[in-house]
Amino acid sequence: SSKSVIQLIIGVIEETVLDERSLTQSTSWLILRIVQAPNALALASSIFVLKSNFTMEYPYFAYGSNMNLRQMSHRCPGAEFCLHGELQGWRYFINGNGYAGIEESTYGVVLGCIWTLKPENWLALDRYEGVEQGCYDKKLLMIKAEGKEEPLEVLTYISNDYNYGRPSTSYHEIVLEGANDVGLPESYILTIENWRNGPPEGFL
pLDDT at position 57 is 75
Strand 80-94 to strand 152-159: parallel, antiparallel, or no bridges (unpaired)? unpaired
Spatial contact of 63 and 92, defined as CB atoms under 8 Å apart: yes
**Ranges of H-type helices in the chain:** 2-14, 20-36, 40-55, 69-75, 119-129, 169-181, 186-193
Q: Which of 13-22, 79-88, 189-198 is predicted least confidently?
A: 13-22
CATH topology of domain 60-193: Hypothetical upf0131 protein ytfp (3.10.490)
- Can you give the residue ranges of every domain in the chain? 2-54, 60-193
Q: CA 22: distance to chain centroid?
A: 21
Least confident range of 34-43, 82-91, 129-138, 140-149: 34-43
pLDDT digits (tens, 9 = 90+) for 8-52: 555 554 444 444 334 444 444 455 555 555 555 555 544 544 444
Q: How distant is the alpha carbon of residue 39 from its chain centre?
A: 32
The dihedral of CA 203, 187, 94, 104: what is its sign? positive
Percentage of residues in the chain having pLDDT higher than 70: 73
H or E segment and range at residue 200 = none
pLDDT recorded at residue 144: 96
Cβ pair 51, 15 in contact under 8 A: yes
| Average pLDDT of every residue of the chain | 83
pLDDT band at 69 (very low <50, low <70, confident <90, very high): very high
Please enumerate in sequence order all residues whose Cβ is within 8 A of that of 71, keeping only pairs 6 or more positions apart, or say none: 65, 174, 178
Q: What is the pLDDT of residue 110?
A: 98
CA 171 to chain centre: 18
Q: Average pLDDT in the 68-89 region? A: 96
